[in-house]
Amino acid sequence: MRAEVAPTDDLATCHALRRQVFIEEQGVPEAEEIDGRDGAALHLLARMDGRPVGTARVMLAGDTAKVGRVCVLADWRGKGIGVALMRAAVAECAARPGITRVRLGAQTHAVGFYAALGFVAEGPEYLDAGIPHRDMVLPLVPRP
């Protein structure tokens, strides 16, 4: 069983997933989670057997893509869904002309997860919504 990941315009479903993981599970304030920037972003939705189980958001600025709001429902973690989401997000970024790197702010417990996907931690640990994070970057290989 593999996750199906694709771009989506279904923000209501993405918000519902993010609400469950970030607001309800992790205690992130709603005003910080729903930041008004979703309209300018690319959203990815992961499904298992047609059921939404994870999402991620990609923001583009100059030569950099920032992946954020990556979440997978608790019952579905450890099944490769996060990896599938991140691979799809990186592929979407690499397909955009002029994007040379992908950045993200990783919760510190997930630094190893992102490192296994090629991201490198940089800078000091910091708090975002009261949760320890590290910035990470993945340079993209230029397309011929």
Is pLDDT of 129 > 90?
no
Are 82 and 74 contacting, i.e. CB atoms less than 8 angstroms apart? no
- pLDDT, one tens digit per residue, over 5-56 is 999 999 999 999 999 999 999 999 998 898 999 999 999 999 999 999 999 9
Whole-angstrom distance, CA of residue 77 vs CA of residue 79: 6
Is pLDDT of 132 > 90?
yes
Is pLDDT of 106 > 90?
yes
Whole-angstrom distance, CA of residue 45 vs CA of residue 78: 17
Note the helical H segments in the chain. Answer: 11-18, 30-33, 81-94, 111-115
Q: Break the chain into its structural domains and give their ranges.
A: 4-139
End-to-end CA distance of the chain: 34
CA torsion angle 128 36 140 91 (round to 10): 120
Is pLDDT of 1 > 90?
no
State residue 2's pLDDT score: 83
The overall average pLDDT reported for the chain is 93
Residue 6's contacts (CB-CB under 8 Å, 6 or more residues apart) are: 44, 45, 88
CA atoms within 13 A on the CB side of 34: 12
| Highest CATH level, class, for 4-139 | alpha beta
- Confidence band (pLDDT; 50, 70, 90) for 144? low
- Mean pLDDT to the nearest integer, 115-138: 94
